[in-house]
Amino acid sequence: MTYQYILTQLSENILTITINRPDKLNALNRDLLQEIKDAVMNAQTNEEVAGIILTGSGQKAFAAGADIAEFSSYSVEEGTSLSGAGHLVMNEIENSTKPVVAAVNGFALGGGCELALACHIRMASTNAKFGQPEVKLGLIPGYGGTQRLTRCIGKAQALEFLLTADTIGAEKAKLLGLVNEVVAPEELLSHCKSLLDKVKTKSPLTIAQILKLSNNYYQGSGFEEEIKEFGNCFGTADFKEGTDAFFNKRVAIFTGK
Ligand code: COA
């Protein structure tokens, strides 16, 4: 299958999905996210696939977030719909019956961090950087970040990220439990492959059961509420100010309106 924004390669029962928009730091537009969803969905019924690696092309980014240019003039309804569609993509990954490993090879910001969080396991290269900078845009995370980040690293650590928009490096991410291991950029993919090589010798049934049961740990209505509140941001002056500031490379001045 040929896609516009992602590359897929199946080798030795491991499907590698590479986000391929390096000139935009692999920013996640709607079509790109649908392509990831489609590739993960197809992998579910492909007996050749035992595991999936998700990574970004280029040296700089896993994904620098949702595509700000695409959504900067969205209405509340369009924002809500964007978030709802994004959640379905993240759920597809999280509910995959084949393990999905994020190979985070640079910026994983906003939607990029949320995409990594939806994966079952995260490995990082030494140049990886994580953050949820949405508040700088007068926005909140819209692809599950308020929920999955909190569940992954705990409420206080997650709130520090979510409220300040601070970015952290790979070593700090490992300390927080956001990533399992930090390896040199040139070893990242082979490291992820080694992990999946161990998994693929096991029964696909037991692997699928464990993945399903581990997701049962996470329940609650937070995801639905996040979609609603993300959409509401698009009706605010602060969102318009935040996105305008990003494009004009200036600091936003928020008024709470
Ligand atoms: N959406 C759309 N375009 C993006 C993007 C995003 N999230 N992140 C980066 N880009 C684009 C830039 O606009 C730029 O495009 P251009 O060359 O056509 O001007 C290109 O990718 C390179 O980015 P640039 O900002 O020039 O790189 P940098 O090394 O100076 O800075 C970042 C890197 C990641 C710090 C910066 O791009 C950034 O802050 N991105 C937005 C992060 C964000 O807020 N994500 C959450 C979105 S909800």
For the segment 41-60, what is each residue's pLDDT rounded down to a tens digit? 999 999 999 999 999 999 99
Residue 164 lies in a domain: yes
CATH number (domain holding residue 148)? 3.90.226.10
Residue 99 lies in a domain: yes
Residue 216 lies in a domain: no
Q: Where are the beta strands (DSSP E) in 105-251?
A: 107-109, 121-125, 129-131, 167-169, 181-183
Number of compact structural domains in the chain: 1
Residue 246 lies in a domain: no
Residue 177 lies in a domain: yes
User: What pLDDT is attached to residue 220?
Assistant: 72
User: What pLDDT is attached to residue 221?
Assistant: 78
Residue 87 lies in a domain: yes
Residues of the chain where predicted confidence (pLDDT) is lower than 50: none
H or E segment and range at residue 9:
strand 6-11
What is the residue range of 103's domain?
6-185
pLDDT digits (tens, 9 = 90+) for 96-142: 999 999 999 999 999 999 999 999 999 999 999 999 999 999 999 99
CB hemisphere CA count around 99 (13 angstroms): 28
Is residue 110 lining ligand 1, measured as CB closer than 6 Å? yes
> Is residue 171 among the annotated active site residues?
no
Residue 196 lies in a domain: no
Is residue 239 lining ligand 1, measured as CB closer than 6 Å? no
**Are the beta carbons of 63 and 56 closer than 8 angstroms?**
yes
Residue 17 lies in a domain: yes
Identify which of 19, 25, 70 to mutate to test ligand 1's pocket (most ligand atoms within 8 A of the CB): 25
**Atom 40 in ligand 1: which residue has the minimum CA distance?**
64
84 CA to centre of ligand 1 in angstroms: 23
| Nearest atom, ligand 1, residue 137 CA | 44
